[in-house]
Amino acid sequence: MTANGEEKLSFNGLAVLYRVARALAAGGELEITLENVLEALEVYAGMNRGTITILKPGNVELAVDVSRGLSAQERQRGTYKLGEGVTGKVVASGKPVAIARLSDEPTFLDKTGARENLRKTDLAFLCVPVKADNMVVGALSVDRIVTNKGTSLEGELRFLEAVADLLAQAVLARRKRSQWIEALEAENLKLRKTLEELEEHGKSEHMTGNSSSMREVYLQIAQVAPSTTTVLIRGETGTGKELVARAVHEKSLVANGPFVTVNCAALPESLLESELFGHERGSFTGAVSRRIGRFESAHNGTLFLDEIGEISLSSQSRLLRAI
């Protein structure tokens, strides 16, 4: 202890704080920056297994975000509910905690399992809250090897609080990024579920296949079927345009109506208009009776005009006006 009553550190605290500040000022990837800070605490202050734990979205659970000396599997296990264990209590209360010997502290859970093979009688644990804008966003914790039973940790606890203050904005940025990623993942899952439901809705008993191309077809069928708009189906001969048209009809609002098919390429130019629009008796030579056209036959249903590109341009223009 110094003359003014402050605990004397076993290392040069100002020199370590300077290294921490330099690591933060260097910029770059946030995770690497924070790892460099934890490395400085280990190498120059003897603080091992440095861990930064952040509050997850919802502020009811914490998870290890960046650590030193912990495997990926150990980090995954390091999740706590708010108020659970020493770390959870520090974040919930906003107050630092120093445990002189881990073997004497039943509330220390060691969920990561990183200390399973270590002598807990020789280990001290320090944990301080990380606060940004007067809000606790996480915690910074480290281990210390302690050989003397009466060793005070107050000085090192104050030092660690100073480090946490320097880390605050970087940890807050990591927390916001974590929230952003989780929100994106949730939105992605929601969109995928919606797309899967659409694809399922677009499937027809007359169509098979689950390739990416077929799934795209199912999706487009599901998107267009509920509307009353005219649909253009393009594709080479034999690719199943009529099957797609029938599937659109089956999923449409007029599924109970007729599905009328016209092969435009098989109709002579002279008969095309009569076939499509019908005629009245005596309207031209040879019209001995009234004929209902395909448009009228498809009323309250679907009219599929196959090979529409094969008819003449003049007929296409008249057909376009009708459509």
- How does pLDDT run across 56-73, given as a tens digit for each residue? 878 889 999 999 988 889
pLDDT at 5: 44
- Residue 63 has phi, psi (to 5 degrees) of -145, 145
pLDDT average, residue stretch 75-83 = 91
pTM attached to this predicted model? 0.58
pLDDT at 149: 65
Please say if the pLDDT value at position 98 is more than 80. Answer: yes
Looking at per-residue pLDDT, the higher value among 8 and 155 belongs to 155
- What are the structural domains, with CATH classification, of the chain? 13-185 (3.30.450.40), 212-322 (3.40.50.300)
Please say if the pLDDT value at position 263 is more than 60. Answer: yes
- pLDDT band for 279, please (50, 70, 90 cuts): low
CA separation for the pair 46, 49 (Å, rounded) = 10
Looking at per-residue pLDDT, the higher value among 291 and 286 belongs to 291
Q: Residue 282 is encoded by which pair of tokens?
A: 């005596």
Looking at per-residue pLDDT, the higher value among 30 and 52 belongs to 52
- How does pLDDT run across 34-44, given as a tens digit for each residue? 899 999 999 99
CA distances for 146 relative to 8, 68, 115, 251, 287, angstroms: 15, 19, 15, 73, 109
- How does pLDDT run across 216-246, given as a tens digit for each residue? 888 888 888 888 888 999 888 888 888 899 8
Written as one string, the DSSP assignment of 201-245 is HH--TT----SHHHHHHHHHHHHHTTS-S-------TTS-HHHHH
Looking at per-residue pLDDT, the higher value among 288 and 225 belongs to 225
- pLDDT band for 1, please (50, 70, 90 cuts): very low
- Burial class of residue 21 in the structure, from the number of CB atoms within 10 Å of its CB (0-12 exposed, 13-18 middle, 19+ buried): middle
CB count within 10 Å of CB 132 equals 19
